[in-house]
Structure 1
Amino acid sequence: MRVAIKGVPSEPQPSSPQSAALPALIDNPFAPEVFATGLSGFANLNGVIVLTLESARCDHARQPPSVDRVVVGRVALTSGAAQDLVAGLNQFLEQQGLSPSKAMASGATFQ
């Protein structure tokens, strides 16, 4: 995890991995939770990586009912946080037996 703190140099300082302590994590049980069934796209806005999340929604007001893709949120990350997300997510998926590299090798693509 990369953290920017005012007054602290952003350049990595030579130190052992154990001596670089992260700030404490404060868990907020009231933080919003977003459920997404898909990822609409990515954008790089001046170094800020933006992920647009979507969810399939059924409109029963129409006959016959139809399914629409609705944007439900956007996640904006610094480039360092985006890289950490990719590395962490890949590691987690590998541990769960859902290898991203095997999926890509078998022809999976982003739609």
Structure 2
Amino acid sequence: MASHRTTFVIKPVRDEPAPDDGRRVLVDRLWPRGVSRERAALDDWWKDIAPTPELRVWFNHQEERFAEFTDRYLAELKANPFVKEARAGSPPGRTTLLYGARDHAVNHAVVLARFLNHAR
């Protein structure tokens, strides 16, 4: 029996697209350097779900700020009207959230995927 739920996973936008990616969505506010639109193979670009510019600049991918960044970003997500729209517009199956950060563990997509998968 097929699942009617969307599962959100993360993947670096620089990785090759794969058949099991499902829907591919860029979740960065800015286009990642050095990645062509063709190579990204996007189905959508959710700029409005990314951290605010102020939060992104403050965080600056500093690992020691990640816990506080997570708290601040979760507060933004809870108040962001686009979250409901994005979740509702995601078909059942896998949606791969693509990000441009070089650190695969300390980035906003980690927080976003966890939030989208658990905050129903």
TM score, norm. by length of structure 2: 0.24
Structure with the bigger RCO (C-alpha within 8 Å, sep 6+) is 2
Higher helix share: 2
Task: State the structure with more CA Rg.
Answer: 1
TM score, norm. by length of structure 1: 0.25
Higher strand share: 1
